[in-house]
Structure 1
Amino acid sequence: MSDAGAWGFVDDRGAAVTIARRPERVVAYVRAGAALRDLGVTPVAVYGSGHDGGALDPVKAGDLEAAGVPYLGPGRGLDEETLRGLRPDLVVDVTYDGKSPYALDEAVAERIGVPLVALSVGSEPRLAAIIGRFAQLSAALRPAALPEPLPGPGDVASAEEAVRAVVADGGGGVAVLALSGAAFDQVHLARPPAWPELARLVELGVRLVDPGPGPGANWLTADWEHAARLGPDLVLFDSRANAVRPADLPPVGHARVAPWNPETPPSPAAYARFFRDLAGALGAERGGGLTR
């Protein structure tokens, strides 16, 4: 759409938004806002999820804080008058089920008369499609005169090639377990097909460990002894602020550890960093260079 004409977008729930002009004041869930910022669109404010507290989680935020973007706290507790006072033209959230926005009750946006779009980050779309949809939204939001943003530290394709290279050089034998620390007697073990970036790593040849049968579509909740019995060489620990740090938890056998953000901003720059870091972790594990 031209900057001067009507603006429209169909989100991943199939909801169509049409407004009189291109939105200039965007409020977003922090993960979505960080991706938009990477892609050349800076939100006027961001809000968190039910996992977030009163401070912005730097792992999820990219460079939003450095850019001076205000954080409004968890979306479910967001004060409507605060949101109204920001005069937003559009709210951008994510959806895991393809039906509902994840972090903000849509009724809040409806009551103040602001349209909301939600892009899927669940298990159904492949990672490339998720990144592509955020690129489409950012392109629709940027003024036509602005150039495409630079992709950051290398593009996703070259970062994926770095993973393939280390896999071919022996890293494919490294057993990798992704998890989120809950307590000293409890851990959430990631099911790789449920997480687009982990599923993509499997496609690239990385040996992701499945936690086994049991309840939970995204996670199997178990004890640390179960995690150790899976025999990982490398553990990807949830690095978000709501997860317990590895130093405060039992070791997983003799596995080395590296960070993993289950809410990586869906931008080429952020995922390129993740894949390059993972390639480095695989290479270090293969060579015995990571800290246990």
Structure 2
Amino acid sequence: MPSQSRLSRPTRRGLLAVGGALGAGAALAACGGNDKSAGGKAEKASEKSGPWSFTDDRGTKVETKAFPKNIVAFTGTAAALYDYGIEVKGVFGPTKGKDGKPDVQAGDMDISKVEIIGNVYGEFNVEKYAKLVPDLLISNMWEKDVLWYVPEQSAKKIYQLAPSVALWASNTNMEKALQRHAELAAALGADLKAKKTADAKARFEKAAARLRAAAKAHPEIKVMIGSASDNLFYVSLAKMSADTLYFQELGVKFVEPKVDAAGFFEGLSWENVGKYKADVIMMDNRSAVLQPKDIANKPTWAGLPAVKAGQVVPRTTEPIYSYDKCAPVLEDLAKAIESAKKVS
């Protein structure tokens, strides 16, 4: 699952964040896209009127008296909507790095045009949120009925300010998650028949076929899903996240760790990092976790066969669920498997 801070006493949700099983003006909301948008121009919220409704992945029929204009969303979800031409007014979750540049989860969004309600795990400025006069709150869901990056301690206050929409990032696969995000975008005014969206979907389907073929041609290649912290190396269970479950359904062979009570991953001490044999290692690419360059001096890591063979690739742990952003994820994994040597 997602991440943006290291907690000294992580709760179950915090562990998912750290381990990674698996982040303006008054009418900014659902207005049209620009050249970078995958979906082309969306219908402006100001041009829509009357009541609005959408049934989310909790099974909740979310209703508003007027078409949502002021949307606040988890950064990755906002980035997906942006690719369909839907802009939000505020975001929460990993958005801006210490260098001021957009976090990987911000996608193509211009982060200077959104209000950042919270930038790290556990941070959500309720006062800033209220000042935006939100019509709708949108986030991913890794555990049933729990919106990602909405802090438990202030959730009640937050939910009182606007209706919320939750879409699964686990308990589903990437293909279905993409469909649901597209359906939400369409409900908010996106044109799913726009050329950019159609082209992106075609690219995704082609990439999925390529990954299936690569997995079939190289059944001997085993992939490990990793995420690093100072004290532990987390090995994730593929079926628990929408992206890796889909890769598994396409035929990719994954290491299967003995997961913790939450069911997402197994935490290994660095002296035990070689517990599982793998030919390719997919490493969590989120800003809150250590990257391969940060752990290069750890002997047990450096000694892994996949590391010595140079078969370590980034994993987009929290995909931006638009076809435009997911197609390259499949292409990169297909390429890694196609070129990998059996080393374990």
Per the TM superposition, whether the score is higher than 0.5 is yes
Change (3 A) 1:66 1:182: same
Let me know the Cα RMSD of the aligned residues: 2.9
* Secondary structure, counterpart of 1:235 in structure 2: strand
8 Å Cα contact 1:93/1:102 also seen in 2: yes
2:39 matched residue in structure 1: none
Q: What is the rounded CA distance, in whole Å, between the counterparts of 1:276 and 1:287 in structure 2?
A: 20
Change (3 A) 1:146 1:79: farther
By how many angstroms is 1:284 displaced? 2.5
Q: What is the rounded CA distance, in whole Å, between the counterparts of 1:278 and 1:43 in structure 2?
A: 31
Match runs of 1:138-287 below 5 Å: 138-142=185-189, 147=194, 149-150=196-197, 151-152=199-200, 154-170=202-218, 172-183=219-230, 185-212=231-258, 215-249=261-295, 250-251=301-302, 253-255=304-306, 256-286=311-341
By how many angstroms is 1:236 displaced? 0.4
Change (3 A) 1:153 1:97: closer
By how many angstroms is 1:162 displaced? 1.1
Change (3 A) 1:79 1:72: closer
* Secondary structure, counterpart of 2:335 in structure 1: helix
Amino acid in structure 2 at the alignment position of 1:107: K
Q: What is the rounded CA distance, in whole Å, between the counterparts of 2:194 and 2:206 in structure 1?
A: 22
Change (3 A) 1:168 1:96: closer
Instruction: Kindly provide the CA deviation profile for residues 79-127 of structure 1, in whole angstroms up to 9, marking residues without a partner as x.
Output: 223112223221111112221212124423334x3211111112x2232
Are residues 1:96 and 2:142 paired?
Answer: yes
Among candidates 53, 57, 81, match of residue 12 of structure 1:
57
8 Å Cα contact 2:92/2:117 also seen in 1: yes
* Secondary structure, counterpart of 2:50 in structure 1: coil
Change (3 A) 1:280 1:68: farther
Among candidates 47, 55, 59, match of residue 92 of structure 2:
47
By how many angstroms is 1:283 displaced? 2.0
Amino acid in structure 1 at the alignment position of 2:156: A
Change (3 A) 1:66 1:285: farther
By how many angstroms is 1:77 displaced? 2.9
Q: What is the rounded CA distance, in whole Å, between the counterparts of 1:68 and 1:52 in structure 2?
A: 12
8 Å Cα contact 2:107/2:320 also seen in 1: yes
**Unaligned segments of structure 2, at least 5 residues:** 1-46, 296-300
By how many angstroms is 1:218 displaced? 0.4
Are residues 1:28 and 2:73 paired?
Answer: yes
2:158 matched residue in structure 1: 109
Q: What is the rounded CA distance, in whole Å, between the counterparts of 1:114 and 1:56 in structure 2?
A: 29
For normalisation by structure 2, the TM-score amounts to: 0.73
1:62 matched residue in structure 2: 107
By how many angstroms is 1:143 displaced? 6.0
Instruction: Kindly provide the CA deviation profile for residues 172-225 of structure 1, in whole angstroms up to 9, marking residues without a partner as x.
Output: 321110010012x42111011112211211121111111236544101001244
Q: Matched residues, percent identical?
A: 24
By how many angstroms is 1:56 displaced? 7.0
Are residues 1:77 and 2:123 paired?
Answer: yes
Amino acid in structure 2 at the alignment position of 1:118: A
Number of aligned positions between the proteins: 282
Change (3 A) 1:131 1:285: same
2:10 matched residue in structure 1: none
* Secondary structure, counterpart of 2:150 in structure 1: coil
Amino acid in structure 2 at the alignment position of 1:139: A
Amino acid in structure 2 at the alignment position of 1:158: K
Change (3 A) 1:213 1:130: closer
Are residues 1:119 and 2:170 paired?
Answer: no
**Unaligned segments of structure 1, at least 5 residues:** none
2:20 matched residue in structure 1: none
* Secondary structure, counterpart of 2:277 in structure 1: coil
8 Å Cα contact 2:279/2:342 also seen in 1: no
For normalisation by structure 1, the TM-score amounts to: 0.85
